Structure 1
Amino acid sequence: MQPLIELNNGVKIPQLGLGVWKSTIEDASHAVQAALHNGYVLIDTAKQYGNEKGVGDGIQAAMKNDGLKRSDIFLTTKIFNGDQGDYDHVRHAFEEQLKNLQTDHVDLLLEHWPVDGKYNETWKAMEAILKDGQARAIGVSNFNNERLTDLMDHGTVVPAVNQIEFNPHIHQPEIVKFDRDHGIKVEAWSPLGSGTLLKNPVVNQIADAHHKSAAQVELRWGLQHGMIEIAKTIHEQRMIQNMDIFDFQLTDDEMKQIDALDQEKHSLWYHDFQWNGNPDGIGDYVATPNHW
């Protein structure tokens, strides 16, 4: 029942999905099973999260228990910063990711962060992965306009998606406009602001008016801004609640009230990582599920 958004290569992606950041392998497996059982299609993971094997196990269990086919699932993962740069290394590392995910392809492959001096060579490998059918679409994550322009100047495929931090507290309007002007769909990570907005009086007043929760209002706000949204939870009831947002609509005035909560403060940005400005190092950015 949820809406689909068509990417620039014709592939269609569900507008709301489950994220598994900070989930252990076991939790990710259970969360993916529960999500797919309750009507989710889009599952978003990354090598950096350290739980791709759990996601693969969850998908296999859901296919066995609920009769789903691989084509019923839209799977996203990301190229790890520590694997970026060398073409052959990117290809080999991604093959290992596919093994952990227990699939021969992903539906969307993203470059997790733009590692300076390496992201263009990484993109060449991702273009080959796309051509070989190991990914149905490729895109980027956390790219600002300068780095995205540079990537497009050196590449041949325009990214299908830019996954960025987007919620009522951070809108990144310049990046959103640039992406949309170039036919790149914007996908929101942390659409609930890591829970910081759940007690906000404006959000809760609007939620009460619609007999919905604060989380449902925040997700609905993102949908009405045209975002693809990745909501993270390991709790089945919250998954069900997060998906129950297609039966109401926020008014223009309510949208403006939530828009006014913008603070434009990143929870993570380039200065948080040692690899920024250091092409030969990746700092302490490592593949552990609770690193961030």
Structure 2
Amino acid sequence: MKEFPQLGFGTYKLEDRDECVEAVTKALDVGYRHIDTAQMYDNEEFVGEALAESDVDIDDIFVATKLDTDNLGSDDVLETARESAEKLGVETIDLLYVHWPLDSYDPDETLAALDELVEEGVVANVGLSNFRPDQLEEAIDRLDTPLFAHQVEMHPLLQQDELLAMAEEDGHHLVAYSPIARNEVADNDTLVDIAEKHEASPAQVSLAWLIEKGATPIPKAASPEHIRDNLAALDIELSDDDIAAIDALDAHHRIVDFDEAPWNQV
């Protein structure tokens, strides 16, 4: 089984072909080995081009994508997963997520189809994304395949303690999207102070905190400078006091939120 790197490269909003190919190629060039995309991003083909162009062997790259909310019926899961693999240029998708438990999501149909894809070798690992704790428990119980990862918004301003504890107990990875809260972390005095102490940016401190907590952040970046800066978070060693100060922040601020979101349906 492929290694699951501590830090991934997100591709949300990289919708322009040249920008996406250049960004993913650069990310691989500087050391990223985990690339995250989604059917909803409309860039799987561009990511596939970058994977093909890169000097890095595809066997050394962990490739993850997500099923669109319209593609969660059994037949659609099977068909579009194969289409995603073709667009990405891989024989096996390393990790396939249910992007949101919305619209055509049906626990019986959707999860059984994911198990089938694993059995057929189209997908190596199954993931879920944006699930409430109760939905997550139900899915884990129904899946024959062990859950590999749950992807949610997570950063120092939204710390996801319950989902992190569930991940630790179940043994799956918690993957953090929007890991720098669209750079709102730069406006937080605590993070700014810690960043100054480490001669780093608040964004780098946010990423380092997530890694210390056992999460896997997947920051998106387009410019070579930001791509390198995010990766450099791996070199930051936060002290126990730093972590405690971040843990103590008021951590209930969502960036991604809308009326139909699962957490607004309880």
Same fold, TM exceeding 0.5?
A: yes
Pick one of 81, 87, 111 that aligns with 1:100. Answer: 87
CA offset digits 1:8-57 (Å, max 9, x no partner)? xx653001011010111422211111101111100000001111111111
- 2:27 paired with 1:35: yes
Distance in 2 between the 1:213 and 1:60 partners? Answer: 33
Give how far 1:211 is off: 1.2
Distance in 1 between the 2:122 and 2:13 partners? Answer: 26
Partner residue in 2 for 1:209: 197
Note the residue ranges of structure 1 that are not aligned, 5 or more in a row. Answer: 1-9, 278-292
Equivalent runs, 1:167-246 vs 2, <5 Å = 167-246=155-234
Distance in 1 between the 2:101 and 2:60 partners? Answer: 31
Partner residue in 2 for 1:13: 4
**Does the 8 A contact of 1:48 with 1:80 survive in 2?**
yes
Give how far 1:165 is off: 0.8
The size of the alignment, in residue pairs, is: 262
Shift in alpha-carbon separation, 1:179–1:157, aligned structure 2, 3 A: same
Give how far 1:124 is off: 1.0
**Does the 8 A contact of 1:25 with 1:55 survive in 2?**
no
Give the TM-score normalised by structure 1. 0.84
Distance in 2 between the 1:113 and 1:77 partners? Answer: 12
Distance in 2 between the 1:255 and 1:210 partners? Answer: 13
Give how far 1:78 is off: 0.6
Distance in 2 between the 1:72 and 1:153 partners? Answer: 31
Distance in 1 between the 2:259 and 2:252 partners? Answer: 15
CA offset digits 1:267-286 (Å, max 9, x no partner)? 33573459x97xxxxxxxxx
Give the TM-score normalised by structure 2. 0.92
Between 1 and 2, higher relative CO (CA 8 Å, sep ≥ 6) is seen in: 1
Distance in 1 between the 2:64 and 2:16 partners? Answer: 16
Identity of aligned residues (%): 31
| Equivalent residue letter for 1:44 | D
Partner residue in 2 for 1:281: none
Judging by fraction of residues, say which structure has more helix.
2
Note the residue ranges of structure 2 that are not aligned, 5 or more in a row. Answer: none
CA offset digits 1:158-186 (Å, max 9, x no partner)? 31111111100001212221222111211
